Structure 1
Amino acid sequence: MRFRLHYIILLLLVGTRLMAQDKIKMDSLYLLVNTSKEDTVKINALLEISQLYHHESYQKAMEAAKQASDIATKSKIKAYEAKTVRAIANVYLSMGDYKNASINYFNALLYYEDIKDTLGLLAMHNNLGVIYDRLHEYDKALDEYFKAQMLLNLQKPSAEMTFRLPTLHNNIANIYQTQGDTSSALQYYTSALRLAQESNNQPLQGTALNNLGKLYMVDLQQPEKAIEYLLEGLKVREAYGDKAEIAKSLVILGNYYLRLNQPDKAEPFAKKSIALSEEIGAMETTMNAYLCLSEIEEAQGKLGESLSTYKAFKAQSDSLRDMQANREITRLQLQYDFDKAEKARAEERRQARLRYITIIITLSIGLLIAILITVIIRSRARQTALLQENLTQDVEIKNKELTTNVMYLIRKNELINSVAERLLKLQPNVLPENYKEIHNIILDLQREADNDSWAEFELRFNQVHTDFYNKLHELHPDLSPADEKLCAFLRLNMSSKEIAAITQQSVKSVEVARARLRKKLNLTNTTSNLVTYLSSLH
């Protein structure tokens, strides 16, 4: 009696303390959900709320997980979609609804495969192994566990890996125990407990202790050893306040005392287990607790109460069996979900192809435009080059014509000068009455050479070098007409002798004029060539 009272007081104190702490944390998490503008913050907060409720109300845990899933689906963040679907599956698993748990685990598995999340895949294979175990498909369960073990072995050691390894060892031990391999089961349970203690994983410590207690009680027939593990497991579970796990420990303790033919000690454990499991909605634990209590009441001789309790067990069992038996509905639901997901993926692929085609067409049009622009630019460049070539040829032709004309002028002036000189030599020998006439002829010849030669040369020069005078005036506005005339002759690279022939000057006078022009053009103290400088003006 003292044990029962001590146990109930301890449970109430622990429960009250944890509820107060959880209430404060829950309020802050709901505040985040209601105020945050970031979807990821809301999702994480709702998943943590679901985890907190997992210890006391599966219905509320499910509501929070589904709300998180709705936000993740709208946000289209695959990593968070996987996390929320996984959280929903975990609640179904705890409730004993293996159909819906497996549906959601397989969906989460697809998400994790899509985003190549090895740790997520590891967890899903482990959880699917748990479901196969509870559906008594032990070979499939082991296959899933070893897939998880293989993925775990590929990862680098970390704190997270340390938390996963005891879970796997515990689950593998469950299969070996079910198959009657108690030696392997004991080895894996012991390993799971050691790893859980090393990593301070309290939930796994409670599970491993509980499983070791069952192994020693049922398979190894060592009740003294069994009760040590079972009570230690209950103590650990009370410490972290998980009502679902506490309820499981209580029903196992009830069965333990029932096996020892101590129904009075067994009864409070079974009743408390029923109360806790019904409170949080753990249907499978509730069913097991009702069966345990029915057998306890029968052992106590309370046959009427035992029958009533058995009916409650049967109703719970039928409800669970209905959930498990409806495989066709599950298959149809899975097929529907698969078809729906496949349609979504097909539409996504279609949109991707459409975007790809659009990009190809756009790039093709862009390439075609670029080719056309290139062709146009090259065509215009060829036209410009051709025009430039024609202009160059035209300038060359005019330069040749100008050079020919200049040579003609030089020869004409030389002829005029020669005639004038011959007349001057004959002048003393002519009759006095003809002397004046010959003198006038000589003057006319010299004037004709001066006027016609320069006028014709200037006309020809301007036809070829149209901008020369403009540039010359712009740079050197103080030049005289004689200077400009000399510049034009030098622009054609004419020698002083050739210039003297055209201008009717001596070569020395031309040389003096060139020196004077060089000074006016500010070239006296430089190495610049006068002809080169004038050739650059165009």
Structure 2
Amino acid sequence: MQGQDRIDSLSALLKDTNISGKKKDKVLNHLWEATIDGQTRLAMTYADKIIANAKTLKNDSTLALGYTRRGICFSYLTNYKNSGLEYYKALKIYKRQKDSLKTGYIYLNLGLDFSEQDVMDSTLYYYNKALTNFLTVKDTVQISKIKRFIADTYGKKGYYEIGLQKALDAARLLEKSKDSFEIHMSYFGIASFYHELKDSLAAEDYLRKINTFFERNKNPRWESTAKLRLAALFLDNKEKHAEAIRFVNKGIDLSKALDFKINIADGLLTKALLLQRMGDFKQSELVTKEALSFSRPTNVKHSISRSLILLGELAVAQKEYEQGEIFLKEGLGIAIDASLLTQQKDAYQNLAGLSEIVGSNQNALKYHKAFKKINDSIFQKERINKVEEWKLIYETEKKEAEIALQEEEINTLNEKAKVDNLRKGLYAGGMASALALFGLSVFGYRQRIKRNRIAREKQEEIYKQEIEHKKKELTSQTLHLVQKNTFIQELKENLENLRNSPEKFKVEFRRIVMLLKRQNASDKDWEVFKSYFSEVHNDFDQKLKTLYPDISEKEIRLAAFLRMNLTTKEIAATLNVLPDSILKSKYRLKKKLELGKETDLNSFLNSL
């Protein structure tokens, strides 16, 4: 039974007043699975009922599952703050139960959330934690799945060749499992890598396979994604623009039915770009504004910036120069804040062209220089990425060779440790020889185990020493920051006394003050401090970002100093501000963390 008929049938079972708690739980889970991809808000109500039923049954495993499913609903609705909170509730239970498989699932979902927000470092952090748990339980399907996600992340970092290699490896592993859904999900990554590597035919082949599979299996979420990816692939192929429009319209309709905001925004932007290439600027402008209305609430910076820059291009094309400049500058501002180099390049290029049109040669030169600088930076980044990718490929191959060698050694030891079944007719001398050989094999094997244990203990001792060293370095770095900024503050106070000095000192005075301001608590000092702090305090900043995705770097910095038990006066000296300013910042941080009046901020931070 498929689709709505299955949902209706299960709903009827749920209305049975005699249904037992365990059976009710089973029905609710089936209903959640039947609705999550097509009716996410309805699936949320079933997740709530799973949680309520689990609390009645006092079943922690079911409760954790309910939290997980509620988290997935929030993820689908792009409410990543709430999804993270639900995942952490489930994680707490699974860790207490020492369930490595389900712990791995939670880390995987957290990684997916960060991937959707383009936070790549956090994405890889959680993916690798998931992989560690899946390797512990030797779950081939999940290992393949997480490898696929890791491959996708390499792609987002610009490592396309190694990403393609890892994506193909993951697909081959999945094909052995016969899991059709996961196999076709892996094709998404492969298609993206082929697209980036300019092999459009291979990319199209994989995307058509995905589209056919999800269309046939009535999965609107992934069918919509496949159709939108095909439309984007055809952007620069005039012969396929008509087919691209059909794909993008269908993809947008499916996404709207799901309230899948990110897909809606991406789909509308793809449609607007198609219309622009087809010369229909007015309709393209209307569609871009609609795309912007969906991307702004999700706060996906690259989508917002791209939409604004496109609106600027369309305004200029229609000779609405003032409006075009407004859109381009707004899009540029967002691109700069989010470090989106490609969007910055496009904005500067369009602003340079606009300045030439309106006869502002000075601005045209300024924007052209900025464009060239960004373009050179992108080219340099691509070169660096390429070198890093080659290095990564070499190190990966080297590591895989070492693992293969270790496995070969283990197999050899296992073979030596085996003794053929002794037959009844063995002569006493032969039996003695066999036993002696067995004894030597076992002795050699035990010696190898002993050596490995000693090596492992030495390595653990080295790790302990490293942690102690980092703790000392962290303390030293903290004192350095405090002393440095205290010195600067005192020096600035002394310089203030020069105001009434002869005129010749004023220029020098301003120059020194500005220099000191630039040096004050530099980002480099903060990054060094943060690296030590993160290693000593178990990725404190990652936990904060997971629980509170909108937390700023300044707020994380304040939280880290509070975790170090620095006083308000010491923090003020470190950041070169007044103590009153730190008190206000602490109040705002507590509000951001949604802590009640009775909850102590320092105690909460120390509990993370």
TM interval, short-chain normalised: 0.5 to 0.7
Three-state SS of the structure 2 residue aligned to 1:258 is: coil
Q: Judge conservation of contact 1:169–1:192 (CA < 8 Å) in 2.
A: yes
The match for 1:32 is: 13
- The equivalent of 1:65 in structure 2 is 47
Cα deviation, 1:400-420, whole Å, max 9, x if unaligned, reads xxxxxxxxxxxxxxxxxxxxx
In structure 1, distance between residues paired with 2:270 and 2:61: 43
1:102 correspondence with 2:84: yes
- Cα offset, 1:319, TM superposition: 1.3
Question: 89, 98, 115: which is aligned to 2:71?
Answer: 89
How big is the alpha-carbon RMSD for the aligned residues of Structure 1 and Structure 2?
A: 2.7
Q: Distance in 1 between matches of 2:136 and 2:129?
A: 11
1:124 to 102, 106, 119: 106
Report matched runs for 1:212-291 at 5 Å.
212-217=190-195, 219-261=196-238, 262-291=240-269
Distance in structure 2 (CA, Å) of the matches to 1:266 and 1:130: 28
- SS of the counterpart of 1:154? helix
Alpha-carbon distance in 1 for matches of 2:244, 2:23: 46
Corresponding position of 1:152: 134
- Give, in whole Å, the separation in 2 of the partners of 1:330 and 1:22: 46
Give the match's secondary structure for 2:272.
helix
Q: What are the superposed Cα offsets for residues 325-375 of structure 1, whole Å, 9 maximum, x if unpaired?
A: 8559998686559x99xxxxxxxxxxxxxxxxxxxxxxxxxxxxxxxxxxx
Distance 1:175 1:290 in 2: 24
Instruction: Work out the CA distance in 2 between the residues paired with 1:333 and 1:66.
Output: 26
Alignment partners' CA distance in 2, 1:201 and 1:40 = 28
Amino acid at match of 1:202: S
Q: Which has the larger radius of gyration?
A: 1
Give yes or no for contact 1:205–1:233 (8 Å, CA) kept in 2: no
Preserved CA contact (<8 Å) 1:277 1:283:
yes
| Paired position in structure 1 for 2:526 | none
- Mapped to 2, the partners of 1:197 and 1:165 lie a distance apart of 13
Distance of 1:149 and 1:143 partners within structure 2: 10
1:28, distance to aligned residue in structure 2 (A): 3.3
Does the alignment pair 1:206 with 2:184? yes
How far does residue 41 in structure 1 lie from its aligned partner after superposition?
2.2
CA drift at 1:142: 1.4
Letter aligned with residue 184 of structure 1: I
Change (3 A) 1:181 1:65: same
Distance 2:245 2:589 in 1: 38
Partner of 2:37, secondary structure, is coil
CA contact (8 A) 2:164 2:194 kept: no
Quick one: percent identity of the two aligned structures? 20
Higher relative contact order at CA 8 Å, sep ≥6: structure 1 or structure 2? 1
Counterparts of 2:135 and 2:157, CA distance in 1 = 25
Pairing of 1:48-63 with structure 2 (within 5 A): 48-63=30-45
**Could you tell me the TM-score, scaled by structure 1's length?**
0.55
Alignment partners' CA distance in 2, 1:200 and 1:163: 10
The residue type equivalent to 1:284 in the other structure is I
Contact 2:38–2:221 (Cα < 8 Å) also in 1: yes
Rounded Cα–Cα distance in structure 1 between residues aligned with 2:591 and 2:174: 40
Deviations 1:468-523 (A, max 9, x none): xxxxxxxxxxxxxxxxxxxxxxxxxxxxxxxxxxxxxxxxxxxxxxxxxxxxxxxx
Aligned to 1:373: none
Across the two proteins, how many residue pairs are aligned to each other?
316
Residue 331 to residue 190, structure 1, CA distance change in 2 (3 Å)? farther
Q: Is the 8 A contact 1:263 1:299 kept in 2?
A: no
Q: Which runs of 5+ in 1 are unaligned?
A: 1-19, 341-538
Check the 8 A contact 1:99/1:330 in 2, yes or no.
Answer: no
Give the counterpart of 1:168 among 146, 164, 176: 146
1:98 shift after superposition: 1.7
Partner of 1:22: 3
Within-5 A mapping of 1:328-367: 335=594
User: In 2, distance between residues paired with 1:242 and 1:172?
Assistant: 24
SS across alignment from 1:259 = coil
Q: What is the CA distance between 1:46 and its match in structure 2?
A: 1.3
Asked if the contact 2:61/2:93 (under 8 Å) is kept, the reply is yes
TM-score normalised according to structure 2 size: 0.49
CA distance in 2, matches of 1:108, 1:332: 25
Instruction: Give the corresponding residue for 1:75.
Output: 57
The CA deviation at 1:100 is 1.8
C-alpha displacement at 1:321, in angstroms? Answer: 1.4
